[in-house]
Amino acid sequence: MTEVDIVAFVVSREHAFDGRPGDGPRPDPAPVDRAEIEVRAGLGIVGDRYYGQTIHKNAAVTFIDEASLDEVVRVLGLPGPLDPHLTRRNITLRGFPIDELAARRTPDGTRHPGRRFTLDGITFQANRPANPCAWMDEVLAPGAMKALRKRGGIRATPLTSGTLRLGPATLTVLD
């Protein structure tokens, strides 16, 4: 059991990263930040663009570790903290290396599934990494995509339902 902080939520009905990164992201028709979110088992976050989308079942909720954004600042020599909302990851945590939970392959090709974990009583199945894309260079800073490699977060499936709120939370790795 690890004490963490939930520092940001992003819930958006629209895809902002569409088309060519050089054209810039599309603006959201409504604010994307939230103080709390409703998570539904097998469906995702109520009100989000991936909610209930079968094709995104294994990527319904995305997480990122705020330390990854701090590393981008350090590597690129940026002046201050980055706005976690710009990554478009649904949940930004502080205090746990969330990337370690993603499915992975060992050098010999053996596949290891992602791990199950709970965040304030809601169980998630970590799936694949949420690899950064060229949009990160546009919305964060030039070079951010490369700086986020292997630390872009995870894609997960909610296995149980509940409410999450910004602030202190408990994360427990189950397997």
Average pLDDT over residues 76-99: 90
| Token digits of residue 111 | 């596949």
Average pLDDT over residues 45-53: 90
Q: How far is CA 63 from CA 34, 79, 109, 130, 154, in A?
A: 15, 24, 25, 8, 5
Contact of 5 with 94, CB cutoff 8 Å = yes
pLDDT confidence of residue 162: 98
Q: Domain residue spans in the chain?
A: 2-12+32-173
CATH number of 2-12+32-173: 2.40.33.20
Looking at per-residue pLDDT, the higher value among 105 and 3 belongs to: 3
pLDDT confidence of residue 132: 79
| Residue 15 pLDDT greater than 90, yes or no | no
